[in-house]
Amino acid sequence: MLPLFLLALSCITVEASEKHADYVVLGKSINHRQSPDGDLAFLNTVFFGEIFRTKNGTVTNGYLSGPGEASGNLRFSEGDVLFLAGKRQFSIEALTENFPDTTYYFNYDTPDGNMRDMPVTFTRDKGEIRNPGPIKIFLQQDGETADPRAINPGLDLVVSWSKFEKGRADPKGIIDDMIYVIMGNCMGEKIVHSGPAFNDGPNLTFREREFVISKESLHPGQPYQVEVEQSEMDTDEYKKIEIIVTYAASSFLDIKTTGANIQELNCPDVPYAMDGGQTDRERIY
């Protein structure tokens, strides 16, 4: 049996880590580009990880260890959300060769204690595809189908999507399968978000079928871009830190509002990428 002072120190370390890191995500995603006419073109697949801080938390020195490309320890970026991505591939099979479906380990530092070897595991039968199928995005304004090339900036924009066939409630009761809708401006800045996981405010689960972008976020004569992501998830908890393992799919659609541009943004003809999955265009952020 450990001495009482060591037991007390152990409890403090676990609680302290929870004060800084809220939850972690490890995932494999498939990305598509949707044309204005509704055609879907495959872009890439990606392995990624995220560490989400608490509101006032500090998390640094994040790295992921494991097999494949993670054998040399992949480093997370610093920031509000610590992020990493592996080399993008052109199929889930090729991605899995570099990142096998097995256990990886999150590591990071906080001012009140460090996390080491937090296990996070992909669970997938051989040949099984757990990622949602390609997502088709639909737009409506004032009850009518909206042309992505001629969005009325004076009306709310209703974004809907093809059914999330794989979506389900979480049997562990931690968090249900999620949907995310994001709108970015022409410079690649994200300006509208439907809400992250474990959010105190609104967010979207597999049950929702649409999301409204307020007309207040739309300005005349501006290019924008919309992303819809569907996330099938396995969940767990380790030392009071929630874990999400996601098999995701995203589609990206460019839109443009009608009218004269009165904003100061000097927009390019093709918007800059707002997400690393948009490998078909330049990214400046």
pLDDT tens digit sequence for 5-16: 444 444 444 456
pLDDT (tens digit per residue) in 236-285: 999 999 999 999 999 999 999 999 988 878 898 889 999 999 999 999 98
**Residues sharing a CB contact under 8 Å with residue 274, sequence separation 6 or more, in sequence order:** 182, 184, 188, 189, 190, 225, 227, 283, 285
pTM of the model: 0.92
Judge residue 16's burial from the number of C-beta atoms within 10 Å of its C-beta, 0-12 exposed, 13-18 middle, 19 or more buried. middle
Q: Which of 6-10, 49-53, 209-213 has the weakest average pLDDT?
A: 6-10
Judge residue 160's burial from the number of C-beta atoms within 10 Å of its C-beta, 0-12 exposed, 13-18 middle, 19 or more buried. middle
* Cβ–Cβ < 8 Å for 151, 137: no
